Amino acid sequence: MIIAIDGPAASGKGTLGKRLSEHFGFAHLDTGLLYRAVARVMLDQEIALTDRDAAHEVALNLDVTHLDDPRLRGAQMGEAASMISGYQPVRDALLAFQRQFAEQPPGAVLDGRDIGTVVCPHADVKLFITATPEERARRRHLELLKRGEQTEYETILGDIRRRDERDMNRATAPLKPAADAITLDTTRLDAEAAFQAALDLVKAKVA
């Protein structure tokens, strides 16, 4: 079984993906980490993020064994990943790995921005997780503060709005719910309530 979870930054899709995978005993992939990992290599090698050819080359040779690097969760990598994720060659280079991951038994949960529309259009369950920009900024602010990253809420809110604009309006795999996706607004839900709501939706879909 394949569960596809899409949604904008800080909507809670990653947390839901992880918890649903644990509940069902499925593998889990936060596909955004792939783009963050490409950005990390480029930044470490001082390659301009605007260099599309270099980004493609990095994606083709990406080592996916270090996706647990804490650096990938930082705000810098998130912004950089949002830039390079708009490059079609980069997306093409990472697509095969994502689809192969999704096919492993007994099932897989993938979260990102184009899972239900591009990566796994035939997924058994498609969820689109959303929340207001203000709530998503609040969550991201708390998350970064816990990691020791000092930043202002208004700065994060501005970043989220820019990323939403970029992700939703890019020519390549724009952020949008699949036609058959179920939308879950988590604005007023805490982590536990959001998980229970998502679990109920998955169970109802596959019943």
pLDDT confidence of residue 150: 84
- pLDDT, one tens digit per residue, over 156-195 is 999 999 989 988 998 888 899 999 999 999 999 999 999 9
Residue 187 assigned to a binding site: no
Residue 13 assigned to a binding site: yes
Residue 32 assigned to a binding site: no
What does the alpha-carbon distance between residue 118 and residue 95 come to, in Å, rounded to a whole number? Answer: 9
Residue carrying the six token digits 């994606």: 59
Residue carrying the six token digits 């989220």: 160
Residue 8 assigned to a binding site: yes
Q: Are 185 and 130 in contact (CB under 8 A)?
A: yes
- pLDDT, one tens digit per residue, over 4-17 is 999 998 999 999 99
pLDDT confidence of residue 93: 95
Residue 89 assigned to a binding site: no
pLDDT confidence of residue 45: 97
Q: What is the CA radius of gyration of the chain?
A: 16
Residue 78 assigned to a binding site: no
**Domain at 2-206, CATH from 3.30.365.10, 3.40.640.10, 3.40.50.300, 3.30.390.30:** 3.40.50.300
Which residues of the chain, if any, have pLDDT below 70?
none
Residue 82 assigned to a binding site: no
pLDDT confidence of residue 75: 80
Residue 9 assigned to a binding site: yes
pLDDT confidence of residue 130: 97
Residue 86 assigned to a binding site: no
Domain ranges of the chain: 2-206
pTM for the full predicted model: 0.92
